[in-house]
């Protein structure tokens, strides 16, 4: 029989606290499975609403591209499930696509609310940030699309409505969130997230965020786990630079080949995106300067069977908001034209 002192001698690895030095991925897709396979993370958190979840729940080992990935004991049904089982990572990388980010927000905010309901967080701990760090992980939003500001705004609003989270804790939680863009896999990776596939090389990230100690810690954790990362020190401006660059490649390589814009040329498009970047104080060429990744992905034709989806409309609408916010009427008109060109095809494909 265990003595009463045995329980008190439990280590943190057996307790419901953030597990220092570990990385997890959310949800289950080709990125998270590949990271786990390459030893770049220890935990996978799945979303019940995302594809592949039933497959993962039914089997301890998963066969992907002829390779067995041993998931037994490393997959959890939610942030709360990982927390209660003593496996919540210090850093969670969010890999869902743009249209699945509301599911992530709901899952993360539900976890924060449970922490308050159960007394792990309270206004009385307002001055003790070690308490917050003990229970709330850091997060990299590595989702495809223009998502960061929207996620941060919604997170800020929702956290302000949770009575157990003080304004100081809310600010600290938001500092824990940084932005990631995949350097590998390259352009077009989002089309291979489902069904599951294993990427042949370990993943690599570009990271941007605030100058908080959490961002520094995030880069340290990535490097420790063999996830090469290039850090953009320009805060929110650096984040926007990468998101507009992603949108530029998306428009250039996916939308324009499927849309007849008459006399419009790639030069016109470059000018529109450069105008947008300049309006937000991004250096010339940072958005439209394509590296070899674009040409490589084009040669391998990841978009040859591409069909227009609601993701395309979502990206265009986000760009349109940026253009309107900067009073760039010509850019907004160009984006309006694109939106109206692709909308019928998107509506047809979603109703089919």
Residue where the block lists tokens 């899952």: 107
Q: What is the pLDDT, as a whole number, of residue 112?
A: 96
SS3 21: strand
Query: How do residues 212-228 score in pLDDT, each as one tens digit?
Result: 899 999 999 999 999 99
Q: What is the mean pLDDT of the chain?
A: 87
Q: What is the pLDDT, as a whole number, of residue 211?
A: 79
SS3 200: coil
Q: What is the pLDDT, as a whole number, of residue 293?
A: 40
Query: How do residues 220-261 score in pLDDT, each as one tens digit?
Result: 999 999 999 999 888 899 999 999 999 999 999 999 888 877
* Alpha-carbon 333 to chain mean position: 29
How many residues would you count in the chain?
352
Using CA atoms, how far apart are residues 338 and 332, in angstroms rounded to an integer?
A: 10
Query: How do residues 297-325 score in pLDDT, each as one tens digit?
Result: 444 556 878 889 999 999 999 999 999 99
pTM above 0.75, yes or no: yes
Q: What is the pLDDT, as a whole number, of residue 295?
A: 42
In the β-sheet with 177-184, what is the strand arrangement from edge to edge? 75-76, 43-45, 19-26, 89-94, 138-141, 177-184, 204-208, 229-232
* Alpha-carbon 330 to chain mean position: 31
Q: Looking at 35-39, 45-49, 207-211, 291-295, which range is the least confident one? A: 291-295
Using CA atoms, how far apart are residues 165 and 147, in angstroms rounded to an integer?
A: 24
Mean pLDDT calculated for residue range 263-274:
79
81 CB-near residues (< 8 Å, 6+ apart)? 45
SS3 85: coil
Q: What is the pLDDT, as a whole number, of residue 53?
A: 60
- Using an 8 Å Cβ cutoff, are 62 and 52 in contact? no
DSSP 63: E
């Amino acid at each position: 029989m265990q003595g009463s002192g045995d329980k008190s001698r439990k280590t943190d690895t057996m307790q419901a606290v953030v597990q220092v030095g570990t990385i997890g991925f959310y949800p289950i897709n080709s990125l998270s499975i590949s990271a786990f396979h390459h030893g770049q993370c220890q935990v996978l958190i799945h979303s019940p609403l995302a594809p592949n979840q039933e497959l993962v729940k039914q089997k301890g080992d998963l066969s992907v591209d002829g390779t067995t990935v041993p998931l037994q004991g490393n997959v959890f049904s939610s942030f709360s499930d990982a927390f209660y089982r003593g496996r919540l990572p210090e850093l969670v990388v969010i890999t869902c696509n743009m249209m699945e980010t509301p599911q992530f927000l709901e899952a993360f905010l539900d976890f924060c609310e449970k922490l308050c309901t159960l007394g792990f967080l309270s206004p009385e701990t307002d001055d003790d940030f070690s308490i917050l760090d003990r229970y709330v992980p850091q997060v990299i939003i590595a989702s495809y699309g223009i998502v960061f500001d929207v996620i941060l705004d919604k997170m800020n609003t929702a956290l302000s409505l949770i009575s157990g989270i003080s304004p100081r804790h809310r600010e600290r939680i938001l500092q824990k969130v940084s932005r990631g863009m995949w350097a590998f896999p390259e352009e077009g990776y989002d089309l291979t997230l489902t069904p599951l596939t294993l990427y042949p090389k370990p993943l690599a990230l570009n990271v941007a965020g605030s100058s908080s100690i959490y961002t520094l810690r995030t880069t340290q954790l990535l490097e420790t786990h063999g996830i090469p990362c290039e850090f953009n020190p320009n805060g929110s401006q650096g984040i926007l630079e990468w998101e507009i660059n992603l949108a530029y490649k998306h428009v250039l390589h996916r939308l324009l080949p499927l849309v007849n814009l008459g006399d419009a040329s790639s030069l016109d498009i470059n000018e529109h995106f450069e105008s947008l970047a300049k309006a937000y104080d991004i250096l010339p060429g940072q958005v439209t300067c394509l590296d070899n990744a674009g040409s490589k992905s084009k040669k391998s034709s990841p978009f040859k069977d591409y069909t227009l989806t609601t993701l395309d409309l979502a990206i265009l609408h986000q760009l349109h908001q940026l253009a309107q916010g900067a009073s760039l009427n010509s850019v907004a008109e160009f984006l309006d034209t694109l939106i109206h060109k692709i909308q019928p095809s998107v509506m047809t494909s979603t109703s089919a």
